[in-house]
Chain A
């Protein structure tokens, strides 16, 4: 008599609920919240889990995002595993403590339910909020599907709390398309998550604890003495943690795949790239429509592939260079704007990662999906057509998708 395989459990939910589920599964100690569109339902789910006793955590309904992150900093310094989520203007208001979190090496996990930033006034999706804080020192991963949202929030704790990383992590999921879009997902068993994450070990390196008294963040620096060199050591240590996060992200995804059978690409995903003669680069939920467009183009005989960037910070420059090298022209589709260079921010970073590789490939920046606009298969067909016709490397004006929708 053979033992029956345990029945698989599925759930249909949106990305906000999936993120909240992940937080419950990660047995987070403290959740601080302030509502904002399109994040609100995520924190409502968390409040309900805590009210129902499904998540044994402290809930702080703070009076604003600035305090939300401040509460979590305090809790982390006391040893708590912590979570919050925000969007757009909330992230902007949170910026002061946000700026400080990586330097304090606090492994806080925060979902950014991405939203286009003001102004014009907008409550709809776009990556401009997360992109505006890309150089602060948080690890940032972008999700493609609802399942990936759930899995990545759990993975984020393993990355953040690794002793050679000790950095805060943003899990970015697209406002509207992932926050409210529903899909079938398979939640992991609690014991799988417990095994994967282990016991929180949050403040071994910096603590506010009367049993281990220390000064946290005294003034450091000055024109002479021990200060400036000490400041350099802190900065370089932070850079080392960011560098090591690439490995930590890879390792965490591999282990998660081994435990759950779900192997998400940790840094970048190569889709039909092996024989590709040109390619497009995507970020976030737009990738689904882009893959459909790739499949259709392949059916028409176009040798086109796709590279999806999952980890944006630290930037996986070597992996991207390796993926694109020798595959001809590429186009990068951004859901936000780099105002300094009049192109998409991901485009600029991809170009930078290819620096020194000859011959330089023709390339094109596309910007679309701003303020909630849909990026459809048709949009990606036009992207593929444009990139397929690129001849020479060199500067080109950005193509604004949705401009004629």
Chain B
């Protein structure tokens, strides 16, 4: 049985502006009257809001009670469909539904209900606060769920690490016709390449040097292409090797448009070797080589914006992603994979490190989410044809203090350092937005 997309409602973000209802009425009934909408936001009497709308139930009461078989659950889309030709206008469904999701529209004289607008719901588009969200995570389950996990069981990541999650999801999506490069770092550190003659994956995998991941993959890819074989060249690299000692070779491969998917898992330092500073380590952060002491308050420079530098190479595709936004990640993985068939595709995934960043292992995804919601990191994608586009714009960001307080490596920060970080975020947001609106 497949999983389905759904419209989620976050009551805490709703300000009852009514835009969703107006948008629905316009889209579905060519009317500006919210009374003609198939969605209704209601005060619940306890200071919050409730949503009256079809939930596209798995086992719908409306379908069960319909005497005319005018309602049915579409197994492919998951939408509960209403058939005008069969409906006898008994209105039993309106009573059966616990969510007030189907009701009589007196203007047309029959029941109406939500149909997700064919996959692009007008209400979600109209919602400015993020209270309504169209969740498409179902496609991960449907499209990837049955694909083979190509890593061995029992990779030895730290407790709560999200890198293993990213690795497994990525490789099962990219598939078996792949050569995987895992330069020194957490990915081989947890056993992806294997030990003493044994492998950690079911695809050909190798340790490049920290410095030559991209050119080694380029040699492999170019020769197979010459021989008429379509093989995916995939790198699962860390931020240190990519941004520091391996940057020259990364830049060279990007400039030449070598066809590969280069995925960087950015945990903001050399976490595998013991949490040392890299050029992707943010300002103020404690690391083992930017320790906090009487003379030093952590790292004294801002992080290098590696994905933006890759945009400067006009790669076939560049995107940032986060372990807390897997739908977004999957969409970008697809775009990157496609772009890697004709050019250099670069995917930069922000990946909090429970061990190196000093926070409880159960909070990994939460920390990743807070980074995005405070604009500490931003989710966007770029191609030379379409330019840069924010994929998850945060117009009303949470205070970055909330993010910094969740992460132990920032616990020593002074108000002055926090002000520096806030200023840096503002600069970064402005820079990305400039890119997003710049002419191609």
Contact = CB atoms under 8 A, between A and B. Distances in A.
A70 B193 contact: no
A218 B215 contact: no
Nearest to A207: B204
A70 B200 contact: no
A66 B249 contact: yes
Contact of B179 (A71, A76, A208, A219): A208
B204 A230 contact: no
Interface string B254-284: 0110000000000000000000000000000
Contact of B249 (A70, A213, A215, A220): A70
A30 B178 CA distance: 21
Nearest to B199: A215
Contacts of B207: 216-219
B218 interface: yes
Contacts of A58: 222-223, 226
B198 to A, nearest CB: 7
B196 A73 contact: no
Contacts of A214: 199, 204
Contacts of A174: none
A68 B219 CA distance: 9
B220 A225 contact: no
Contact of B209 (A29, A75, A100): A100
A72 B216 CA distance: 7
Interface residues of B, number: 45
A60 B196 contact: no
Interface stretch (A77-85, A142-150, A246-254, A289-297): A77-85
A74 B217 contact: yes
Contact of A225 (B196, B206, B209): B196
B109 interface: no
B141 interface: no
B6 interface: no
B200 A218 contact: yes
What is the interface of chain B mostly: helix, strand, loop, or mixed?
mixed
B433 to A, nearest CB: 32
A63 interface: yes
B204 A209 contact: yes
B223 A75 contact: yes
A77 B248 CA distance: 22
Interface residues of A, number: 45
Most central of A32, A61, A70, A72 by chain B CB within 10 Å: A70
Contact of B203 (A78, A79, A100, A213): A213
B177 interface: yes
Interface in B30-76: none
Nearest to A217: B207
Contacts of B214: 67
A210 B196 contact: no
A237 interface: no
B223 A217 contact: no
B387 interface: no
B204 A213 contact: yes
Interface of B: 176-179, 188, 193-209, 211-212, 214-224, 226-227, 231, 248-249, 251-253, 255-256
Given A30-B219, A60-B218, A67-B248, 14 more contacts: A63-B255, A71-B216, A71-B218, A74-B218, A75-B220, A77-B220, A96-B211, A208-B206, A210-B204, A213-B201, A213-B202, A217-B207, A219-B207, A222-B195
24 contacts: A32-B219, A60-B218, A60-B222, A62-B215, A63-B255, A67-B249, A67-B252, A70-B208, A70-B211, A70-B219, A74-B215, A74-B216, A75-B222, A78-B219, A79-B223, A208-B206, A209-B204, A210-B176, A213-B176, A213-B201, A215-B206, A220-B197, A221-B196, A230-B196
Question: 6 closest pairs, A vs B, by CB?
Answer: A74-B219, A63-B252, A215-B199, A70-B212, A75-B219, A216-B206
